[in-house]
Amino acid sequence: MIPEIGQFALIVALCVAITQAVVPLTGAALGVQRWVAVAVPAALAQLLFVAVAYGCLTWAFLSHDFSVLYVAKNSNSALPLIYRISGVWGSHEGSLLLWSLVLTLWSAAVALFTPGVPRVMRARVLAVMGLVSCGFLLFIIVTSNPFERLLPAAAEGSDLNPLLQDVGLAIHPPMLYLGYVGFSVAFAFSIAALISGQVDSAWARWSRPWTNVAWLFLTLGIALGSWWAYYELGWGGWWFWDPVENASFMPWLMGTALMHSLATTEKRGTFKAWTALLAIFAFALSLLGTFLVRSGVLTSVHAFASDPERGIFILGFLLLVVGGSLTLYAWRAPLLKSAAQTSVLSRDGALLLNNIFLAVVTAAILLGTLYPIAIDAMGDKISVGPPYFNLMFIGLAAPLGVLIGIGMLIRWKHDTFERLKSKLWLPALLAVILAAGLALLLPEFKLAAFVGLSMAVWILLTVISAIRERLQNRSLASALRSTPAGFYGMLLGHLGIAVFIVGITLTSLYTKEKDLRMAPGDTYSVAGYEFTFNGVRQLHVDNYVATRGSFSVHDESGNFATEMFPEKRIYLVQNNPMTEAAINAGLARDLFIALGESLDNQGAWAVRIYYKPFIRWIWLGAIIMALGGVCAASDRRYRRLARGRSPASDALEQAS
C-alpha cells in the first residue's frame, strides 16, 4: 500500500509542477496577478508531494519490502540501517527521486527566501524551475518508476552494491545533487531575466547568493567523491578523469566562472549577455552530467545503472531545456546592452580573462569526454585518458593561478600598468624566493614542484596584500566593520586554491609506491617508515566476511608507531570481493596499505604500500573554498535587500 501512495504522490507532484510552470508564466505575460500568485504555493505543494513519495520509498527500504523491485535489487535484510537510508539513492530510480526532491527543495527555498525580488520575477523563476521539475518527474514516472512491484516478492534482496556501502559515498550524491540542482536557480533567474528583458545589476545580485551556495555544495560533493575514490576503490589515486567525474567537474568550472562574472555584472553592469549565457551553461552541464551518467552513453566505473531508452528521454529533455534556453538567448541577448565602458587593464578585464580560461578548460574537458563517442560513431573504440586531461588542465589552469593574484589587486573599471607593477613586484619576487627555498627542503628538487609552490605562495602573498590594502588609512576596527563578508569569501576561496595546489603538486611528484610480496614477519621500508607484516585473520561482520591483515609501522627514529589493518572483504550476498585499504592520515603525509591476493599457503600476501605526502591538502583546499562560499553567500548585503519590499522594487514590478 505504501509504495502505491508514493507513486500516487509522484503523479500529483507532476500535476502541481505543470501548474507551477504554466499558470505563473501565462499570468506574468498577460498581467494577471492572481495567476502570478500561484507560483509560491505551488512550489511548496510540490515539495510536500515529492517528499511524501521520497518518504514512502525510504519506508520500503527500512521495512525490507522486497515486493518493491528497486528495494529487492538494492537492499538486503542484513544491510545496516544507514545503508538502508542511503540505499534509496544507491541506484538509478532512487537517485532520480533524490534529484527531484532536491529540485523541489531549492524551489521552495526560492519561494520562501526571496522577499526582496519582485513578485513577477519570482513567479517566472519558480515557473522555470517547475518546468525543469516536470521533465524529471515525467522521466521518473514514465521510464524509471522506483515503486514498481516485484510479484511474487523476493525472499531476500540482492544487496546494495558493496562499493556504495560506505559513509563517504552515502553523503556524496546528496551533496553533489544540491550543487548540480542548485545551479537551476541561477539558470531560472537567467531565463526569467531573458524573458522579461531585464538583465540588470539587481538580477545579478539576486542570483549571486544562490550561485554561491550551489557552488559550495558542488565543491564539497566533488571533494567527497574524490576522497571516497581514494580510500574505497583501493587505487590510492584521488582523481581519474573518469567521464562521470568530468561530468561533475564541468558544471563546477562553469559555476566558478559564473560566480566571477556575476560579480562583474553586479558591480559594473557589464558582461550581461555573457553572464546569462554562463548561467545557462552551468545548468546545462549539470543536465548533461545526468545524461552521461544515466544513459550509458559512456562506460565508466560509475555505470551502476544505464539504459539507452532512458538516454533518449534525457536527450530529448536536454534538447528542450537547453535548446529552448539557447534559442531564447539568441533572440533576447542582443537586447542586453552593457552599461559601462571598460578598459582591458582592469578587474573587469581580469575577470573576463578568468572566464575565458575557465570556459576553455571546460570545453577541453567536454571534448575529451565526448571524443570517444565521436570515434565510436566512426567505428572505433578508444578512451581518452589522464595524459590528455592532465596536460590540458595543467597547461590551461596554471595561467589562472597567476591571474588570481592579479585579479585581487587590480582596480575595477580602469587601472594603470605602473600602479599594478608597484603592487605586484614584491609578492612575485617573494613568491619565487620562498618557493625556491621550500622546494630545496623537499627530498629531491624538482622544477615542477618549484613552479607549483611558487603559484601557491604567490596566491598566499597576494591575499595578504589584498588584506593590507583594506587596512590602509583605516583603523582595524573600522576596516573590520566596513569589509563585506564577500571579501572574506573571496580570500578564503583563493586560499583554498593555494592549499589545493600544494596538495596536488606534492602528492603527484613525491608519492612513493611499492608492490610487495610479504610473508608474516617480513619488514620493508618505504619513505623512511618500516612496515612489518604480522599476518592475517578472518572476521565475520554483519553482511560480509573479511580477511584482515595487520601491520606494525615505525619510523626510523622510533618516534612514530602505529598498527594498520587493511582488509579484503567478501560481501556475502553478491559474493563481491572488496579491498578496504588501511590509511594512516596526517597533514603532511598519508600512509596507505592495500591488501592484494593471498600468494601461497604459507601466509604470504601481495601488498601495496603508498606514502602520499600532503594528499590531505587537496580536500582541505576544497573545504576552505567551500567555507569561502559560505562567507560570500552570507554577505549582509543580500539580507539587507531581502528585508522588506522597497518601494523601488514595487515600482519595477508595475512597470514589468
Partner 1 sequence: MIRFALPLTIFVLMIGLLAYGLRLDPKRVPSPLIDKPAPAFSLSMLEDPSRKLSTADFAGQVWVLNVWASWCVSCRAEHEVIKMLARQNLVIIVGLNYKDQPADASRWLDTYGNPYAASVVDGDGRVGIDWGVYGVPETFVIGADGRIKYKHIGPVTEESLQQKVLPVIKELLG
Does residue 334 interact with partner 1 by CB under 8 A?
yes
Residue 291 within binding range of partner 1, rule CB under 8 A:
yes
| Contact status: 573 vs partner 1 (CB under 8 A) | yes
Residue closer to partner 1 by CB (options 175, 280) is: 280
Count the helices and strands in the chain (H runs, E runs). 22, 10
User: Cβ distance 562 to 553 under 8 Å?
Assistant: yes
298 binds partner 1 (CB under 8 A): yes
Give the bridge partners for 240, in sequence order. none
Q: Which residues contact 548 (CB under 8 A, 6 or more apart)?
A: 536, 537, 538, 539, 565, 566, 567
For the CB of residue 569, give the shortest distance to partner 1 in the complex, in Å: 15
CA distances from 482 to 290, 310, 413, 468, 474 (A): 42, 53, 21, 14, 10
Identity of the residue, 319 or 471, whose beta carbon is nearer to partner 1 in the bound complex: 319
Contacting residues for 17 by C-beta, under 8 A, at least 6 apart = 42, 46, 130, 131, 133, 134, 137
DSSP state of 411: P
Q: Is 649 in the site for partner 1 (CB under 8 A)?
A: no
Examine residue 574 and tell whether it contacts partner 1 (CB under 8 A).
yes
Binding mask 311-330 for partner 1 (x = CB under 8 A): xx--x--xx--xx--xx-xx
Out of 575, 601, 602, 654, which residue is the one contacting partner 1 (CB under 8 A)?
575
Span 36-65, contacts to partner 1 by CB under 8 A? none
Given the rule CB under 8 A, which of 36-44, 98-106, 163-171, 275-283 is the region that contacts partner 1? 275-283
Length of the chain: 656
Nearer to partner 1, 25 or 273 (CB): 273
Minimum Å distance from CB 327 to partner 1? Answer: 6
3-state SS, 503-534, equals HHHHHHHHCEEEEEEECCCCEEEECCEEEEEE
Task: Write the CA distances from 565 to 568, 591, 602, integer angstroms.
Answer: 10, 12, 19
Query: According to CB under 8 A, which one of 15, 78, 154, 436 is a site residue for partner 1?
Result: 154
* Segment interacting with partner 1, rule: CB under 8 A, options 115-123, 348-356, 495-503, 567-575: 567-575
For partner 1, what does the binding mask look like between residues 515 and 554, x meaning CB under 8 A?
Answer: ----------------------------------------
Say which residue the cell 534525457 belongs to: 314
Applying CB under 8 A, the span of 216-224, 227-235, 288-296, 603-611 interacting with partner 1 comes to 288-296
Q: Are 558 and 574 within 8 A, CB to CB? A: no
Closer to partner 1 by Cβ: residue 293 or 410: 293
Q: How far is the CB of 529 from partner 1 (least distance, A)?
A: 35
233 binds partner 1 (CB under 8 A): no
Q: Judged by CB under 8 A, does residue 297 bind partner 1?
A: yes
Q: Does 257 bind partner 1 (CB under 8 A)?
A: no
Total interface residues for partner 1 by CB under 8 A: 41
The reply to whether 359 sits near partner 1 by the rule CB under 8 A is: no
- Residue 246 interacting with partner 1 (CB under 8 A): no
Report 368-397 residues binding partner 1 (CB under 8 A): 370, 373-374, 376-377, 381
Choices 302-310, 386-394, 463-471, 593-601 (CB under 8 A): range interacting with partner 1: 302-310
Q: Per CB under 8 A, does 559 bind partner 1?
A: no
C-alpha–C-alpha distance, residues 298 and 296, integer Å: 5
448, 509 Cβ separation under 8 angstroms:
yes
Report the distance separating Cα 227 and Cα 515, nearest Å: 22
Neighbour count for residue 205 (Cβ, 10 Å): 19
By C-beta, is 326 or 467 nearer to partner 1? 326
Residue 28 parent element (H or E)? helix 2-30
Burial of 171 (0-12, 13-18, 19+ CB in 10 A): middle
Q: For the chain, report the end-to-end CA distance as a whole number of angstroms.
A: 48
Residues that bind partner 1 (CB under 8 A): 69, 72-73, 154, 158, 273, 277, 280-281, 284, 291, 295-299, 303, 306, 308, 311-312, 315, 318-319, 322-323, 326-327, 329-330, 333-334, 370, 373-374, 376-377, 381, 573-575
